[in-house]
Amino acid sequence: METLPRKTSVHRAIVQKLGLMRFILVLMLAAVIMTTIFDYAAITLLGQSYRVPDFLAASISALIITYVIARFFVGKFFDIDELEKEMHRLATYDDLTGLLNRNAFMQASIYYHELQSVEEQNYSVLAIDIDFFKRINDQYGHAAGDKALIEFGRVSKEISRASDILGRLGGEEFVFLLPETNVSQAKSFAERLMNNISELKITEEDSEFQFTISIGITAPPHKNSTSLETLIKKADEALYSAKNSGRNKISIYTNNLEQNINTSVSNPIT
């Protein structure tokens, strides 16, 4: 997955906060307001009578001229294709980790979910959470917490397949949908992820720290009508069970029966 290109702060602010077309629309609106004020002032000063068609003609001309000038300048200083790509990236990916944001994750996942009910495809859902993340922020600073999130995103992408759907639903809450993967295969993936994450050494200024994750896994039963939201909730319940049994664990939710699986990792954090 690509990383976000560096942009100037003005550039990013415009794209992020307004969007290109809205930015131009704001300029056009400003031009119409200014034209109306100047028209009114000029007519009043000259002592002429107020004529609606003149106002309309002046406003429409102002709109067209502003649009042409704005498009010209935007095209001159910014690469329109790049801007559109960046707007798409911002609308799809989480800026920090490069994983899908909540909306994009749900959109991509619903496709596999619907396919599953028709074609009986296997897939698994993993809910993942960084252990004691608040403690990392408090002890090493917010920037260190961000580094942990970035590294989590990088490792997750590294060990997953192109078809896997990896999402950051919020703060340190992640949900992955692995197509064509049964629970036992999902468990192998989860173990690999846990091991790789626990081996990371994050450095922040003079400090170095490691962290672990907890994972809840579930999969839709055959010929199911369970909604995707319900499956995510089940994976989440399994995740809480993993947290409650000490963290740095995997928990599987199957047929309403939760079984905890104690997973040993090579570098557990004490």
Residue 218 and residue 238 in contact, taking contact as beta carbons nearer than 8 Å? yes
Residue in 55, 67, 78, 133 binding ligand GTP, rule: CB under 6 A: 133
Q: Does position 171 bind ligand GTP by CB under 6 A?
A: yes
Strands 213-218 and 250-254: parallel
Contact set for ligand GTP, span 80-109 (CB under 6 A) = 96
Contact set for ligand GTP, span 192-221 (CB under 6 A) = none
How many residues touch ligand GTP under the rule CB under 6 A: the total is 17
Q: Does position 131 bind ligand GTP by CB under 6 A?
A: yes
Expressed in angstroms, the distance from the first to the final Cα of the chain is: 33
Q: Which is nearer to ligand GTP, 168 or 187 (CB)?
A: 168
Q: Does position 146 bind ligand GTP by CB under 6 A?
A: yes
Q: Does position 12 bind ligand GTP by CB under 6 A?
A: no
Residue in 25, 180, 243, 260 binding ligand GTP, rule: CB under 6 A: 243
* Separation CA 87–CA 141 (nearest Å): 30
Residue in 172, 178, 181, 213 binding ligand GTP, rule: CB under 6 A: 172
CB 116 to ligand GTP: min, Å: 29
Q: Which is nearer to ligand GTP, 74 or 136 (CB)?
A: 136
Please report which helix (H) or strand (E) contains residue 109, including its range. Answer: helix 102-119
Strands 165-170 and 173-179: antiparallel
* Separation CA 177–CA 179 (nearest Å): 6
155 φ/ψ angles, rounded to the nearest 5 degrees:
-65, -40
Residue 216 and residue 126 in contact, taking contact as beta carbons nearer than 8 Å? yes
* Structural tokens at position 133: 């993340």
* Separation CA 249–CA 270 (nearest Å): 14
Stretch that binds ligand GTP, among 54-62, 125-133, 221-229, 248-256 (CB under 6 A): 125-133
Q: Is 172 a catalytic residue?
A: yes
Residue 125 and residue 185 in contact, taking contact as beta carbons nearer than 8 Å? no
CB 146 to ligand GTP: min, Å: 5
By annotation, the residues acting in catalysis are 172
Enumerate binding residues for ligand GTP (CB under 6 A). 96, 129-135, 137, 142, 145-146, 149, 171-172, 243, 247
